[in-house]
Structure 1
Amino acid sequence: MHRATLFCLLLIVCVNDAARGDTEFIYNGFSGSNLHLDGAAYITQDGILSLTTCSSYITGYGFHPMPLRFASFDDYGMDSLSFSATFVFAITPDNSRSSGDGMAFVISSSPFVNSGKPAKYLGLNYQSNSRTAFLAIELDTVLDTEFLGIDNNHVGIDLNNLESIYSRSAGYQCNNYVGNKTTPTYEALRLSSGDPMQVWVDYNGISMVLNVTLAPISNLMPPSEPLLSYTVNLSNYFEVSHAQAYYVGFSATTDDMHCTAHQILGWSFSLSGSAPALDYSRLPLKRAQDKKLIKWLLPAAISSLAVLTALTCFLLFRCCRKRSVERQQEDWDWETQLGPRRFSHKVLRAATSGFSTTQLLGQGGFGRVCGGVLTTSGLHIAVKRISSESSAQGPAQFTAEILILGHL
């Protein structure tokens, strides 16, 4: 009898553990996970769930592999639906900084929302006659007037429809401490900044209040006030029974004009209380930030290097030119004493019949001397052609010779 009782107790403990595993999970990074992936989604070597890359017109899905049964009993013994989730994400646009189209946290009756399409549809089912039930918390980064979007940077609640039942521009409430006084202020956030941010989604099936909270990852704890707080009976949209299970996960899209990397860095979920806290030390936060820095700093570094190279070449050119002018000025200082006597090579060549040997008058230390007549004035001249190969004398000796001849 004692052994039978002990066996029953052990069986109850095992069943409870299994039930807890079926209602709660946590991903501190996704390395080694067996998520249900589809479309462009994949797990990076760093353990990041990449839903889309910076490519055009693609869709990516990442769902928890097993469906979850949301049914539970409230204080009145009736079925109710409650859940809690939190995740860290990063949305990084391409070099054009034109982001799109956005991503969504999804609870759906199918692992991948039927008839989901890229671009403005966020991979969700947009057909009103579809049998697929879904709740989506959208992080929308493009203004879609077709679905009555409020701007190109908002968080919205979608229920079986892409027209949000409630939405607000992205931001969070933070508390500023001045002395002993606390002043709450609203701070705007740019969803597509590439910075890691955290979202908390909580629904109480008894009070029927759905809260969505957004904050930068540096907050670590959710703000005291949610960004969205909406009262809705989800049991009117979802079948709440132990026979019905639902899939939870993410979807994201791009279009032909907006290419963006949508990434999930960590995620936890619970059907029995608050979602487990993420271990930030195990999340691939630094790697995601490094990739963002490389993405933006690499073009900037290349541009800076090109400018620096061009500036260096310009300064070297000016320096060399200045030195050349100085040397030339030194070489022809005798002109200031004798007056300008400079002739072009073309004029001297014509005057000496191309420096012909028939015009040769002699040969000195600097080279040959040819006689000639200037065609313009008929003046007889003697032209000495300097040859560096036949002369060991320098510019100083040549200048001295010119000055002596000029005073004869």
Structure 2
Amino acid sequence: MPTAMNPRKLLAFSLFLLLLSLLRPQFASSRNTSFDFPSLSLRNLSLLGDSYLRGGVIGLTRELSVPASSSGSVIYNEPIRFSDPDSNLTASFSTKFSFSVNNINPASFGDGLAFFLSPDNQTLGSPGGYLGLVNSTQLTKNKFIAIEFDTKLDPHFDDPSDNHIGLDIESLISIKTADSTSYGIDLKSGNLITAWIDYESGLKKLDVFLSYTSSKPESSILTVEIDLSEHLKEFMFAGFSASTEGSTELHLIENWSFQTSGFLSLKPRDHLHNVSENSVPIQVPESPNKHHKKLGLGFGIAGPAFFCVFLVIFGWISVKKWRGIRMEKSFKAELVTGPRQFSYRELKSATRGFHSSRIVGRGAFGTVYKAHFEDSGSVSAVKRSKHTHEGKSEFLAELTIIAGLRHKNLVQLQGWCVEKGELLLVYEFMPNGSLDKVLYQEFDMGKFGTSLKWAYRYNIAVGLASVLTYLHQECEQQVIHRDIKTSNVMLDVNFNPRLGDFGLARLMDHDKSPVSTLTAGTMGYLAPEYLQYGKATEKTDVFSYGVVMLEVACGKRPIERESKSERMVNLVDWVWGLHSEGRIIEAADVRLRGEFDEDEMKRILMVGLGCANPDSGPRPTMRRVLQILNGEAEPVLVPRVKPSLSFSCELPLSLEEIVSDEEEGSNTPEHFLQIKIG
């Protein structure tokens, strides 16, 4: 005997059938896409690789004074429809953008940039001649249509010159190229160049125009007779990529507009017939069965009406009956569509049943497992939250916040699962683990051999400053992380920093007063005023960042036991003492063996002290910190003597009320919970 259908499923199925019958014409039509960004922001764009945003301009490759290898991409967040399988239509499209290719060393040129369309919103390729489009070890992995603006002659890809444009389809060997200098355009001039790319689906023709002005030229630089309908998928992502190899070339995008056309909306039923104004109405004799037709018409109108009333009543009863449904059921209906929903079964299989051998980290809010997905061959990190009310609330906070954030220095959320009472998040796997493990693992094991190189450490400082600037000042709603520490900073394969663990983060409107909450975080990283008043602000994040910077520079934990005594040493106090004696450079990590840039070391140490100032007033903003680290602003003025603070009342919270989520199994001493404000 067949099992009766669940009332909620029956309701959903009935509503679907009704909506399908009523809204079917809308499903058959497709919308054209159009956007215009006179200035670029991260609200609609995602940055990958080495790309960055500064002053409304996207930089696609690293801005360095020495030759380096780099690749980066920027992608429009929303997928764009390019074909309609129902009507068998392929869209035409036009895009306009302004870019410049600069170089502090004209002799160190290469490799160029590209505008691309791809079915994948994670397009990021290798540096060098691969233009950030193709992975050098998997040449056929990335699918794309691209217009390349190539600034280096690479015989491997049949390049005609070191100043050309070309149409590429799933290969960097262009279908057709054109030398831009023949049209008076030098791609490497450093001047702002405006490009127009037009594809006419009906004419099966693609044109590319270039100009030093905002006026579109009459003749194109590149014209290709081609039918792109076989390559334009139903939905694709649009973006830009660039790369360098042993070069200081910079690739900047300053504005961007894009639009598709060619999709026709279905006309209303009343307009399907062409009726002339001079038409003479024809009278038709009434049928003997007229009353039967009227009766049928009445049932035809009343039937759907009764059905709708029935559905409304049935839905009201069902909603009332299922109001107490479990949290995860209601949660699924409200989730954003971005991250993928995994099944519990596939996550359990990928982690070998959440086996202890797959554990890569632990925290107060969950355990992190390494997951191997055999079907795709990919590796991810799965965070399994604890089965508590607090764990669920932190899980929801982390998911809702990080799902809407896009920055190259954030850990990428890949998906989620709410099933069998489990709360799981799936993240991009970071092969080099967390910053604290890289900084202290060898130290804990009594080894003093290799250490994290200074170039990586400085890059970590800049990356964290960049992502915190984004969270504090560039998001639609300000994000206060509240738990910045080295164990929450992950390192990718190239030791680039990725900030993670948003379980304690809070969203705030800009220019709004902070809300007093239960103090949460990790001792050693908490700002004095946060301990006193329980109000998290961007200044409390700045304090935590300062402590992390001192850890990066000194290779010491925020609170450590002296090797020759039982006395506990506060890192901020220790560095400030050396600063007051004019010996701050002696705070540098001894494991670096002096292999560091002294000016950069002083800059990091002074920034760390400035951010960790007990007085929140003089602390710089994260934007100012980023400018200092990039050499674009004067250093922070740090007093020789550490300021002392006194509060008008006792601490309102006991130590038991302060949440500390240090990883289980750490060697943190009990004295770690000492509070020192002076």
Contact 1:102 1:253 in 2 (8 A): yes
Query: 1:268 matched to which residue of 2?
Result: 257
Contact 1:156 1:166 in 2 (8 A): yes
Q: Would the alpha carbon gap of residues 110 and 148 (structure 1) be closer, same or farther in structure 2, given more than 3 Å must change?
A: same
Per the alignment, in what secondary structure is the counterpart of residue 263 of structure 1?
strand
**What are structure 1's unaligned runs of at least 5 residues?**
1-10, 172-185, 274-408
Alignment partner for residue 58 of structure 1, among 62, 66, 70?
70
Structural RMSD (CA): 2.8
Query: 1:200 matched to which residue of 2?
Result: 196
Per the alignment, in what secondary structure is the counterpart of residue 254 of structure 1?
strand
In the alignment, does 2:238 pair up with 1:228? Answer: no
Structure 1 residue 103: Cα displacement: 0.3
In the alignment, does 2:150 pair up with 1:161? Answer: no
Structure 1 residue 238: Cα displacement: 3.1
Query: 1:27 matched to which residue of 2?
Result: 37
**What are structure 2's unaligned runs of at least 5 residues?**
1-21, 263-678
Alignment partner for residue 143 of structure 1, among 120, 139, 153?
153
- Structure 1: distance between partners of 2:194 and 2:53: 19
* CA-to-aligned-CA distance 1:323-344 (integer Å, 9 cap, x gap): xxxxxxxxxxxxxxxxxxxxxx
- Structure 2: distance between partners of 1:191 and 1:265: 15
Per the alignment, in what secondary structure is the counterpart of residue 146 of structure 1?
helix
**One-letter amino acid of the structure 2 residue matched with residue 206 of structure 1:** G
* CA-to-aligned-CA distance 1:311-357 (integer Å, 9 cap, x gap): xxxxxxxxxxxxxxxxxxxxxxxxxxxxxxxxxxxxxxxxxxxxxxx
**One-letter amino acid of the structure 2 residue matched with residue 59 of structure 1:** S
Contact 2:82 2:232 in 1 (8 A): no
Alignment partner for residue 250 of structure 1, among 230, 240, 243?
240
Per the alignment, in what secondary structure is the counterpart of residue 271 of structure 1?
strand
Contact 1:93 1:100 in 2 (8 A): no
Query: 1:124 matched to which residue of 2?
Result: 133
Contact 2:96 2:195 in 1 (8 A): yes
Structure 1 residue 72: Cα displacement: 4.6
Structure 1 residue 54: Cα displacement: 3.4
Contact 1:38 1:61 in 2 (8 A): yes
- Structure 2: distance between partners of 1:96 and 1:87: 24
Q: Would the alpha carbon gap of residues 72 and 222 (structure 1) be closer, same or farther in structure 2, given more than 3 Å must change?
A: farther
Per the alignment, in what secondary structure is the counterpart of residue 245 of structure 2?
coil
- Structure 1: distance between partners of 2:146 and 2:42: 26
Query: 1:399 matched to which residue of 2?
Result: none
Aligned residue pair count: 235
Map 1:9-408 → 2, pairs under 5 A:
23-31=33-41, 33-44=43-54, 46-55=55-64, 56-72=68-84, 77-113=87-123, 116-125=125-134, 130=140, 132-171=142-181, 187-216=183-212, 218=213, 220-239=214-233, 244-256=234-246, 258-272=247-261
- The one of the two structures with greater contact order (alpha-carbon pairs below 8 A, sep at least 6) is 1
- Structure 2: distance between partners of 1:118 and 1:129: 13
Per the alignment, in what secondary structure is the counterpart of residue 235 of structure 1?
coil
- Structure 2: distance between partners of 1:110 and 1:250: 13
Structure 1 residue 33: Cα displacement: 3.1
**One-letter amino acid of the structure 2 residue matched with residue 211 of structure 1:** D
Structure 1 residue 251: Cα displacement: 0.2
**One-letter amino acid of the structure 2 residue matched with residue 118 of structure 1:** P
Contact 1:106 1:135 in 2 (8 A): yes
Higher strand content, 1 or 2:
1
Q: Would the alpha carbon gap of residues 133 and 32 (structure 1) be closer, same or farther in structure 2, given more than 3 Å must change?
A: closer
What TM-score, normalized by structure 1, do the two folds share?
0.53
- Structure 2: distance between partners of 1:140 and 1:89: 13
* CA-to-aligned-CA distance 1:355-405 (integer Å, 9 cap, x gap): xxxxxxxxxxxxxxxxxxxxxxxxxxxxxxxxxxxxxxxxxxxxxxxxxxx
Contact 1:133 1:237 in 2 (8 A): no
Question: Which structure is larger by alpha-carbon Rg, 1 or 2?
Answer: 1
Contact 2:99 2:194 in 1 (8 A): yes
Query: 1:331 matched to which residue of 2?
Result: none
Structure 1 residue 112: Cα displacement: 2.9
Query: 1:315 matched to which residue of 2?
Result: none
Structure 1 residue 80: Cα displacement: 1.6
